[in-house]
Amino acid sequence: MAGGRVRRLSRELLLLVGICVLVLLVVNAFVARPFVVPSGSMENTLRPGDRLVVNRLAYAFGGTVQRGDVVVFDGTGSFLPYAAEPGAVRGALAELGLLPTGNSVYVKRVIGVGGDRVTCCGTDGRLRVNGVPLEETDYLAAGDAPSSVAFDVVVPAGKLWVMGDHRSASSDSRDHLGEPGGGTVPEEKVIGRADWVVFPVGRWSSLDRPAGFSSIGGSTGHGHQG
């Protein structure tokens, strides 16, 4: 009798664990996904090892990627020609946020969206979007210049120009200028918007869109570059 009770409890426990795992996988796939920051390319906004909540519904139901958003995206085909497939166990743990995601997934800040002309640097040393100088003091890493690489790009429709906040330590759109796509990332490759840092506890914070991007307003097109 006791053995039967133990077996029944074991089955119920396994069923409960299975349901919990299934719920987590569904939430990760459609609602919110955990992400482990793999490098210092976004310091000091994000630090290596920070755990993020990536909002997968941010751009659903008519929502669009905005300048200033911190996004997590698959760089296969833009930043990388292909991606090695992780093992089944490692892939599952990465999906649950228990291990860093594979090397094809990046986290960067959106600087330009489709139709924008993004240049660096003007006579004042600042990055410009559609001719408007971008105020970056809220997030640019201390001591970093907006860019050590000069560029002048028009972002194609449906694409994004992305950069790290730690510009001197970030491999981003600037590093892929001569490749197919010109360094831009297709919007459909965006996994979601990074909304919260949830771990370590002392790093809890929301990742709000910086005020400097409000100066760009609704401006579109190629703009005059001074």
pLDDT at 169: 95
Q: Catalytic residue numbers?
A: 41, 108
Query: Residue 127, SS3?
Result: coil
70-74 and 105-113 strand pairing: antiparallel
pLDDT at 34: 83
pLDDT at 222: 45
pLDDT along the chain (226 residues), means of 10: 60 56 45 81 95 89 91 90 54 50 84 96 90 94 94 96 97 90 93 92 91 77 46
The whole-angstrom separation of Cα 14 and Cα 100 is 27
The whole-angstrom separation of Cα 126 and Cα 103 is 31
Beta pairing partners, 160: 113, 185
Q: φ, ψ for residue 6 (rounded to 5)?
A: -65, -45
Over 148-198, what HEC string results? CCCEEEECCCCEEEEECCCHHHCCCHHHHCCCCCCCCEEHHHEEEEEEEEE
How far from chain centre, in Å, is Cα 51?
12
The whole-angstrom separation of Cα 40 and Cα 7 is 49
Residue with tokens 């994004």: 160
The whole-angstrom separation of Cα 207 and Cα 72 is 13
| pTM assigned to the model | 0.78
Q: φ, ψ for residue 184 (rounded to 5)?
A: -85, 155
Residue with tokens 């390319």: 41
